[in-house]
Amino acid sequence: MYKLVKKQGGADDLILLGAVMSLPQKEITINPADLSLGGILIEPETALADKTILRFSGYAEAADTRARKSFGQWFRQLTATVRLLSQNVPAGQTVHIAYTSGMSFFNKLVPTILIARFFGKKLVLHFLSNKAESELEEYGRRLRPFFRLCHRIEVTCDYTAGVFRAYGIPVSVVPLRVDRELFAPRLVKSVQPRIVITRHHTRGNNLIGAIKAFALVKQKYPRAELIMIGDGPRREWLEEVVRSERIHGVTFTGYLSHDNVAKQFAQADIYLNCAAIDGLPLSLLEALSAGLPVISTNVGDIPSVVEHGTSGLLVAVNDPPVIADRIIELVENPALVEKLSRKAVQAVSQYFKKQPGETASHNK
């Protein structure tokens, strides 16, 4: 759904797609959503107070939910998208589209591309999803003509760039940045454990694997806690699994502000990522910056930042028993915890030194 949101003391924000359209003769970068997903934001290059901002107001449109829509519902939503875009795109000079995992390519992305080009606007696609591998496998060849209508496509890491280039789609890499003040480092010397996960609740992030691993840890350490930040189409199912299996100590927070994500990181002692497909999630970089010991699957660009046994622990995909063993290892080995915490901060600093324009980020 779409709505016009009145900002107190400021300009109106037209909530729509995750696209930002600058006023004539103005260039800005997108701030795609007022959701803290533990990552995905683009740093504004100018203040947004006097700009027209088109944002997608509902996150989840993943495959898990599309089948539930009737043709009439789909058609009405598509018509609303086209109408609002047609009414507002002509006022801008440049249209930036922020694509995140879960947005519908054909209901949201394609209409925006076509309408922007129809009105002769410059079009920049910021592909922020870490699931390019699976998404392009499903849609890549059908979407290639539409991608070629964009004046520029930006991705967040070399791994995602390689996926695009395999389909003959040229892209530029614009690395993610971390607010180093908000995610200030601390030295973790021991763990309870209090585990934090900050990912969309979608199939590719394999959160069920994290819950299975946590259940095994809980058998040995009853005080263990699991904090799951985020939302998505699989959240209700995950909550039902936790209830039916009587796994105590799991908290689903929903989306949090970026400040509150940082507070959760400051209270946690392990960051866990179980994704089956990934690029380089910003939440992982934020965890390293905060000095959290990291346990992650060895997918995407993650091994280029996290060295196993030095700045984090890497595990294979879909192996909850091994993940549980790594968590227990940290509980029982404070020296390793302290080493990983120190090296995590060094690893993320080294990563940023290799990137152009390093320093604090955006707010999201």
pLDDT of residue 79: 84
Q: Does residue 335 share a domain with residue 233?
A: yes
Contact 97, 125 (CB under 8 A): yes
**Does residue 18 register a pLDDT over 60?**
no
C-alpha–C-alpha distance, residues 255 and 261, integer Å: 9
253 located within any domain: yes
Say whether both 211 and 145 belong to one domain: no
119: tokens are 């009105």
Does 358 map to a domain?
A: no
CATH code of the domain covering residue 251: 3.40.50.2000
- Assess whether 301 and 155 both reside in one domain: no
Residues 241 and 160 in one domain: no
> Quick one: CA dihedral 65, 67, 68, 70, positive or negative?
positive
Domains identified in the chain, total number: 2
Q: In this structure, are 275 and 326 located in the same domain?
A: yes
Q: Report d(CA 32, CA 286) in Å as an integer.
A: 19
In the block, tokens 């801008």 appear at: 92
Q: Shortest CA distance to 247 belongs to which of 272, 267, 271, 219?
A: 219
37 with 165, same domain: the answer is yes
Is there a domain that residue 185 lies in?
no
Q: Tens digits of per-residue pLDDT, 197-237?
A: 999 898 899 999 999 999 999 999 999 999 999 998 899 99
Q: Helices (DSSP H) in the chain: which residue ranges? A: 63-66, 71-88, 110-118, 132-147, 158-166, 207-220, 235-244, 258-267, 282-289, 320-332, 334-353
Each residue's pLDDT tens digit, 317-341: 999 999 999 999 999 999 999 999 9
Q: How far apart are CA 119 and CA 151, in angstroms?
A: 14
**Distance of alpha carbon 307 from alpha carbon 203, whole angstroms:** 26
Do 129 and 154 contact (CB within 8 A), yes or no?
no
Question: Do 107 and 57 reside in the same domain of the chain?
Answer: yes
Task: State yes or no: pLDDT of 353 exceeds 90.
Answer: no
Termini Cα distance of the chain: 22
pLDDT on residue 10: 36
Query: Quick check: bond before 293 cis, omega within 30?
Result: no
- Residue 284, in any domain of the structure: yes
Closest CA to 106 of 64, 65, 78, 72: 78
Predicted pLDDT at 162:
95
Contacts 24+ apart (CB under 8 A), 75-80: 77/1, 77/107, 78/107, 78/111, 80/1, 80/2
Quick one: 169 and 199 in the same domain? no
Whole-prediction pTM: 0.82
Mean pLDDT of 152-166: 93
What does residue 273 show for φ and ψ, rounded to 5 degrees? -135, 120
CA atoms 182, 154, 151, 138: torsion sign: negative
The letter for the amino acid at 43 is E
pLDDT value at residue 60 = 33
Give the C-alpha distances (Å, rounded to integers) separating 100 from 110, 247, 257: 14, 31, 17
Q: Is residue 362 one of the residues assigned to a domain?
A: no
Answer yes or no: do 253 and 128 share one domain: no
Average pLDDT over residues 115-133: 88
Judgement on whether residues 293 and 328 belong to the same structural domain of the protein: yes
Report the alpha-carbon distance of residue 293 to residue 289 in Å, rounded.
Answer: 10
- Tell whether 79 and 140 lie within a shared domain: yes
Residue 315 lies in a domain: yes
Share of the chain above pLDDT 90, in %: 53
Residues 90 and 127 occupy one common structural domain:
yes
**Phi and psi for 94 in degrees, rounded to 5?**
-130, 135
Range of the domain at 211: 194-353
